[in-house]
């Protein structure tokens, strides 16, 4: 009996000691967590000062979307033996310099997608990946500051395709005017004097002209979220049919070590491209398309997939 009592007392003492030890450890952990939070707050404050310091700021994020599939003797579909795939990539990058008297903002956007459907039962179809969405856009904006919000500015912007029909068409804008930066990360460019150079083999459709250039760009990183929206329009003074606009929106959400989910979609209205496409597809027996009878439809694209941020 005495041994049982001693054993019980020993177990109670051990349990009590362990409970005290756990409470002590939890108390120490709480203090250290508070210390870590205080250190992180100081680090975040220093990073904020670094980000606010005038100088080069660079960044990039992109999205990769892909799916591959195949079938063998799957008779329920029209092509029972096939291999198919869709691959797409986007990249958004920027390098901005901010000084007391001037700024220089540079950005680029690439979106390329390929698709293939290979019918294994015939030898005449195309087995390669073929380009679908195909966008290449770079811009450079220089401004001399008149105040914190306004600057006299000059802009150069080039847009084309890179997989198919490089520089056919290609658009090169050069213009001068003013830039307004009402809040951080928002840039509004208004250039009433801008020349839109158009490069293309089909001179009957594409034409260069003088006009006004307006660009609205907002690029922001909020924690794990990267966001960029860019609206660019050219309004021709000589002919409204030569005007065009493009609006591209990119999102990235980081889940782990720079890897996450990304989504990008774009809209465009360009009557010159619409007419060139109509002329390339119309049968000879039908009336020839022109700007006057053109059914100019809104262009669009989108991509969803894995995202990586730098």
- The residue written with tokens 């952990």 in the block is 29
- So what's the pLDDT on residue 4? 53
CA dist 157 → 142, 162, 268, 297, 303 (Å):
12, 16, 16, 24, 24
Average pLDDT over residues 18-41: 66
Q: Are 162 and 130 in contact (CB under 8 A)?
A: no
**pLDDT, mean over the chain:** 81
Q: For residue 187, what are its two tokens?
A: 């840039």
- Tell me the residue length of the chain: 310
Q: Are 308 and 258 in contact (CB under 8 A)?
A: yes
DSSP-derived 3-state class of residue 235: strand
CA dist 11 → 16, 17, 22 (Å):
9, 10, 16
Burial class (CB in 10 A: 0-12, 13-18, 19+), 34: exposed
Average pLDDT over residues 156-173: 89
pLDDT tens-digit map of 215-233: 999 988 888 888 889 999 9
User: What is the rounded CA–CA span in Å between residue 269 and residue 210?
Assistant: 18
Phi first, then psi: what are they for 157, rounded to 5°? -140, 135
Which residues make beta-bridge pairs with 12? none
Phi first, then psi: what are they for 43, rounded to 5°? -65, -45
Average pLDDT over residues 278-283: 73
Cis peptide before 169 (omega within 30 of 0): yes
- So what's the pLDDT on residue 80? 66
Q: What is the pTM of this model?
A: 0.72
- Place 285 in a pLDDT band, splitting at 50, 70 and 90: very low
pLDDT at 2 over 60: no
- So what's the pLDDT on residue 83? 80
**What is the distance in angstroms between the CA of the first residue and the CA of the last residue of the chain?**
71
Residue 223: left if φ>0, alpha if ψ -120 to 50, beta else—which one? left
Highest-confidence segment of 1-15, 61-75, 244-258: 244-258
Which residues make beta-bridge pairs with 206? none
pLDDT tens-digit map of 50-108: 555 557 888 887 777 777 777 776 656 667 687 878 888 888 888 999 998 999 999 99
Between 172 and 15, the more confident residue is 172
Q: Are 156 and 139 in contact (CB under 8 A)?
A: yes
pLDDT tens-digit map of 126-159: 777 777 778 899 999 999 999 999 999 999 999 9
């Amino acid at each position: 009996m005495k041994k049982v009592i001693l054993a019980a007392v020993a177990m109670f003492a051990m349990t009590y000691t362990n409970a005290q030890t756990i409470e002590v450890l939890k108390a120490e952990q709480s203090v250290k967590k508070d210390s870590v939070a205080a250190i992180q707050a100081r680090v975040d404050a220093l990073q904020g000062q670094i980000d606010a310091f005038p100088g080069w700021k660079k960044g990039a994020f992109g999205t990769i979307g892909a799916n591959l599939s195949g079938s063998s003797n799957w008779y329920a579909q029209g092509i029972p033996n096939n291999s198919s795939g869709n691959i797409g990539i986007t990249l958004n990058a920027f390098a901005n310099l901010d000084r007391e008297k001037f700024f220089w903002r540079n950005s680029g956007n690439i979106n390329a997608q390929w698709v293939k459907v290979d019918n294994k039962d015939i030898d005449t179809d195309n087995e390669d990946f073929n380009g679908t969405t195909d966008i290449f856009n770079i811009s450079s904006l220089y401004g001399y500051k008149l105040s914190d919000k306004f600057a006299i500015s000059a802009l150069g912007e080039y847009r084309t395709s890179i997989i198919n029909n490089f520089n056919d068409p290609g658009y090169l804008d050069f213009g001068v005017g003013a830039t307004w930066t009402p809040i951080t990360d928002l840039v509004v460019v208004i250039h009433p004097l801008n020349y839109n150079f158009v490069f293309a083999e089909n001179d009957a459709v594409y034409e260069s002209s003088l006009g006004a250039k307006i660009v609205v760009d907002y690029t922001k990183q909020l924690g794990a979220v990267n966001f960029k929206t860019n609206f660019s329009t050219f309004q021709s003074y000589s002919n409204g049919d030569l005007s065009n606009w493009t609006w591209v929106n990119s999102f990235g959400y980081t889940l782990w070590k720079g890897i996450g989910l990304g989504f990008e979609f774009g809209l465009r209205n360009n009557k010159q491209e619409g007419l060139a496409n109509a002329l390339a597809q119309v049968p000879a027996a039908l009336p020839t398309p022109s700007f006057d009878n053109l059914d100019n439809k809104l262009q669009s694209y989108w991509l969803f997939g894995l995202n990586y941020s730098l």
